[in-house]
Amino acid sequence: MVLSDNIKTIGVAGAGTMGQGIAQVCATAGYQVILYDVAEPQLGNAKTLIHKSLQIAVEKGKLKTDESNQILSRIQFQPDINQLQADLIIEAALENLDVKKKLFSKLESINTESCILTTNTSSIPVTQIASALKHPHRFAGLHFFNPAHIMKLVEIISGVNTTTETVDTLKVFCEKIGKIAVLTKDSPGFIVNRVARHYYVEALKLLEENVSDIHTIDALMKASGFKMGPFELMDLIGVDTNFSVTTSIYNAFHQEPKFRPSRIQQQKVDAGHNGRKSGKGFYDYSNG
């Protein structure tokens, strides 16, 4: 098992929104980072967006230009999975069990037995993903929140076979990257997504039943103290991602009605209206 002091290189599998944020966080903390994605154009996009994020930090006086350049220089953008060899790997790929199991089987085969493997899944049971591994004791959930370079919370999820040593190492790692870690067992939605699910589900039910409109619901929730309304937040997270998590939790609880996914959200996904990243979701972002 790699101790936290021996972790020098972080691998991040998946260069989407979450993967970009996680890579930036780790590089900012001084780690060497290998950011992998099967789609090479996505790596170019990731580099552009991470650079943009760092530039915003420079403009706000949170970083100096040379510090920004050093952070970016610590990230290697890698399209070859065989080069994704590290002391700790954080997977941030699609919310699909088969995809994750196949990916981790490959990562386990090309890394040493001391490498800690983790998933950033929002809702898929950690134990199910670990079932594809020969050494599930060194596997855990490491769930960051969007935007990862800003949000302080990280959930550390123990699967059935996750050892105390693995969890303890991840706790220290989270401290080193400036995050607040909370420990949770492997339960559908873990803590945050299980509790927060009704923020979205109930808002969608109000919309389905024509109780109120999107703008009013968002405005009322912000007036109640929330920083973002449920529809604004779904657009930020990704309507498709949010829908996938709701569906996963709904099925994990054996179709418990209170977690039922929304037909309206399904239609948004079918239409490709996935929020800010696609230019349109519950709101229109086509004009910037």
pLDDT digits (tens, 9 = 90+) for 116-125: 999 999 889 9
Q: Which two tokens stand for residue 17?
A: 């929104």
Please, are residues 245 and 122 in contact by the beta-carbon 8 Å criterion? yes
Q: Tens digits of per-residue pLDDT, 42-71?
A: 999 999 999 999 999 999 999 999 999 999
pLDDT, residue 120, reads 97
Told to judge if 122 belongs to the known catalytic residues of this protein, a careful annotator would answer yes
Please, are residues 140 and 168 in contact by the beta-carbon 8 Å criterion? no
Which residue ranges does the chain devote to CATH 1.10.1040.50?
Answer: 193-278
Average pLDDT over residues 70-96: 96
Q: Which of 155, 232, 244, 273 is catalytic?
A: 155
Told to judge if 175 belongs to the known catalytic residues of this protein, a careful annotator would answer no
Q: Which of 120, 122, 158, 248 is catalytic?
A: 122
The span from the CA of 24 to the CA of 19, in Å, is 9
Burial class (CB in 10 A: 0-12, 13-18, 19+), 79: middle
Residue 257 has pLDDT above 90, yes or no: yes
Q: Which two tokens stand for residue 113?
A: 């037995």
Told to judge if 143 belongs to the known catalytic residues of this protein, a careful annotator would answer yes
Q: What is the CATH number of domain 4-185?
A: 3.40.50.720
Strands 139-144 and 153-158: antiparallel
Which residue ranges does the chain devote to CATH 3.40.50.720?
Answer: 4-185
The span from the CA of 129 to the CA of 251, in Å, is 16
Q: Is the dihedral of CA 11, 14, 17, 20 positive or negative?
A: positive
Told to judge if 208 belongs to the known catalytic residues of this protein, a careful annotator would answer no
Q: Which of 143, 149, 273, 274 is catalytic?
A: 143
CA 255 to chain centre: 24
Q: How far is CA 184 from CA 94, 128, 199, 250, in A?
A: 22, 16, 21, 19
pLDDT, residue 287, reads 81
The span from the CA of 31 to the CA of 275, in Å, is 32
pLDDT, residue 158, reads 97
Q: Tens digits of per-residue pLDDT, 2-27?
A: 566 789 999 999 999 999 999 999 99
Q: Tens digits of per-residue pLDDT, 135-159?
A: 999 999 999 998 899 999 999 999 9
Q: Which of 193, 242, 248, 274 is catalytic?
A: 193
Fold held by 193-278: N-(1-d-carboxylethyl)-l-norvaline Dehydrogenase; domain 2 (1.10.1040)
Of 144, 181, 188, which Cα lies nearest the Cα of 166? 181
The average confidence (pLDDT) of the chain is 95
